[in-house]
A and B are shown apart, each in its own frame.
Chain A
Amino acid sequence: MRWSRKDLVGIRELSAEEITFVLDTAAAFKQVGTRDVKKVPALRGKTLVNFFVEPSTRTRTSFELAAKRLSADVINISATTSSLTKGETLKDTAKILEANHADIIVLRHSSAGAPQFLAERLRASVINAGDGAHEHPTQALLDLYTIRERRGSIAGLHVAIVGDILFSRVARSNIFALLKLGARVTLVGPSTLVPRVFERLGVTVSHCIDEVLPTVDVVHLLRVQHERQRKEYFPGIGEYIRLFGLTKARAKLLKADCLIMHPGPINRGVEIDSDLADGVQSVILAQVTNGLAVRMAVLYLCGGIASR
């Protein structure tokens, strides 16, 4: 197939074929990372702006590295260093970036829909690096890449996503991506954070992790926000661990080849036992490595369209 999108704002609008195409492209770029010279000239002369209105280290670094390996020039802008703090609108800030000939804008923003808002208004490529509780498409792509790498394919697998689904963009992008590629998805967590309405997206909702764990091929754990941020949603970390934490005892319920995934940053001892995070079933570090390849693929594909 031929890639035709200048932007990546979400997984929801991608076809299964497009998702697979990104993953296949990422496989080629992953090989680049194993070379002595980890750099290709694909985006030489292009300027990429990492525009992070919401704080992030992991995703921003990954995009920056990916861009540099593609030979793009990279600048980083955070909320505190941008004019947004002086009352400039998002649209104006982005127009300024474009007037400075930015070719690709990677946006992290606390408002759902912000990347689409920019994508509709700019000639530059807009890549969503996480918007509110909406989508985090490159995270889902790297998760799928990691699953596919270990299990050969996605179709037919049963994946549990555990934790704070309601506020999670990682969960939404993963749900869309996994379903499109033929996986079965079960969401697990407290009823306040995993309301039944999610079933209308085509997934199963469970509030009993012990029933789900023996049946899954992948368990994807989400970071649990602290009580301070979610005090109306669950009684506390202690109770969360008791009901939903992936403890050593619970891990015994897993199939031997079940993958344990986490988008990070991890709360060791909360959503996942510390030893399990580092154990043989964990692919958490592989996710990070694959994130680089997936982001190179996304920047290469979308950046190539925008420059036409």
Chain B
Amino acid sequence: MSATVIRNGRIIDPANGRDEIADLLIIDGLIAALPQLSTLNSQPDEIDAGNLIVAPGLIDIHVHLREPGFGWKETIESGARAAAAGGFTTIVCMPNTSPVADSPSTIAWIKDRAAAAACVHVLPTGAISKNLAGEELAPIGSLAQAGVVAITDDGHCVQNSELMRRAVEYARMVGVPVLDHCQDYNLVGHGVVHEGYWSTLLGLPGWPAAGEEAIVARNILLAELCDHRIHCQHISSAGSVRLLREARGRGVRISGEACPHHIALTHEAIQNFDTNYKMNPPLRSQADVDALIAGIADGTLDILASDHAPHAKFEKEVEFDRAPFGIVGLETELGLFLDLLVHKRKAIDLPRLIEMFTTIPAELLKLKAGTLATGAAADVTLIDPNLEWTVDANAFETLSSNTPFHGWNLKGRAVRTIVGGRTVWRL
């Protein structure tokens, strides 16, 4: 029997309505009731959590681990380490691998790799369409049986609304939610940056906000039509927030997530053609940033995620329009959200932040995670909300270093990550 007691932390456990200074007991990898402490026949390990938040292990539902197929960018092992270093005990990986995660055998491979090499829980998603081509349905039922927690064509977007409708109906039958990267290919064309002042000035092809909003609107209609949950990934525009707010107000089964870069930066950042500011959807205007933060504050956007997208330096160090989209995010995400949402903008408080990283994503994906209930797996994140630190891309656990946040001073971060009672990372 192994036991650990985490002393004097502020336990914030939204799943159980707790926010109090207390001790947390872990026995044999599970959360245990505190009175059991007196029944232990040996001295437990002690962790001092004074001035720290003790939270259920955080969940990031949007990461790219690049395996199989792109192991020079990231591996399941390195991505999991990056997650642990960012305070995450559960991550959900996207299917745009090679081969695409559109078959049970690839899902089985990912789960095997995760079981062998990952220090946090890695949960795969499956593709909506075969090879992410948007033309015919992937075997969604078989993928569900193989253990995917959701289906998504992330990185791509099913353009054919009829096919998308059938995918949503089918996903409803097998009980998996649908996550969607919202991008109308005709409207967006070759766009690489937000269509606006800076795209005009720099002559870079514009990616209009309407290209996202058109698909968000479609997804709202399909969620209603099919009475099934659709979750819109990485929402970037004020118009999308407005559409989601209206639909959620009517009880439509639609939701949206926000990424750190979309609230930390605007399209002004692209002016030197630095490809670490190139992501999809793109950085938008200050009005969009303000609308995203308002949407987070009023609950319209209720999940926070990184869209962790590692790329090697040689891949990013090319002409702007030829560079791949995306940045790494797992190791800066919590710090950015704490710093910007909680400390600076005061859009949400700490309990809400933790809810958005635990109970809400757990509910979306029907996970037995995100809780400190007695008997639950002891996945725990210790957070110092006031620790001031400087982002150092050279010290990242991820294999890649494509971040625009190198050198940023942030307030707040995870200091210890515990999975199944075992510390997998500490500052």
Contact = CB atoms under 8 A, between A and B. Distances in A.
A134 B203 contact: yes
A133 B318 contact: no
A131 B204 CA distance: 10
B200 A113 contact: no
Interface in A178-215: 195, 197-198, 200-201
Contacts of B321: 111-113, 132
A283 to B, nearest CB: 26
B194 to A, nearest CB: 11
A112 B318 CA distance: 11
Nearest to B273: A113
B50 interface: no
A251 B196 CA distance: 34
Contacts of A112: 202-204, 273, 320-321
B319 to A, nearest CB: 4
A110 to B, nearest CB: 8
B319 A109 contact: yes
A273 interface: no
Contact of B201 (A132, A167, A195, A201): A201
B319 A111 contact: yes
B197 A132 contact: no
A89 B314 contact: yes
B273 A116 contact: yes
B203 A91 contact: no
Contacts of A91: 317-318
Nearest to A9: B273
Contact of A200 (B197, B273, B318, B319): B197
Contacts of B318: 89-91, 117
A114 interface: yes
Contacts of B196: 197
Contact of B203 (A89, A90, A169): A169
Nearest to A111: B319
Given A89-B318, A91-B317, A91-B318, A135 B200 contact: no
Nearest to A195: B200
Interface in B92-137: none
B322 interface: yes
Given A112-B273, A117-B273, A90 B200 contact: no
A131 B314 CA distance: 21
Contacts of B273: 112-113, 116-117
**Interface-central residue, B196, B204, B273, B314, by most chain A CB under 10 Å:** B273
B16 interface: no
Nearest to B193: A112
A172 B202 CA distance: 8
A133 B319 contact: no
A12 B273 CA distance: 14
Interface residues of B, number: 16
A50 B322 CA distance: 22
Q: Which of B196, B203, B273, B314 has the most CB of A within 10 A?
A: B203
Contacts of A169: 203
Interface in B182-222: 196-197, 200-204
Nearest to A109: B319
A197 B203 contact: no
Contacts of B42: none
B160 interface: no
A117 B319 contact: yes
Given A197-B196, A197-B197, A113 B202 contact: yes
Contact of A134 (B197, B204, B272): B204
A22 B197 CA distance: 28
Residue of A113, A117, A169, A200 with highest tally of chain B CB at under 10 A: A113
Given A112-B273, A116-B272, A89 B317 contact: yes
Interface in A86-133: 89-91, 109, 111-114, 116-117, 131-133
Nearest to B201: A201
Interface in B314-343: 314, 317-322
A113 B196 CA distance: 17
Given A111-B322, A116-B272, A172 B203 contact: yes
19 contacts: A89-B317, A89-B318, A109-B319, A111-B319, A111-B320, A111-B322, A112-B202, A112-B321, A113-B321, A117-B318, A117-B320, A133-B203, A134-B202, A135-B203, A169-B203, A172-B203, A197-B200, A201-B200, A201-B201
- Give the 6 A-B CB pairs with smallest separation, nearest first: A113-B273, A133-B203, A111-B319, A134-B203, A113-B320, A112-B203
Interface of B: 196-197, 200-204, 272-273, 314, 317-322
Given A90-B318, A117-B320, 10 more contacts: A89-B314, A89-B317, A111-B321, A112-B204, A112-B320, A113-B320, A116-B273, A169-B203, A197-B196, A201-B200
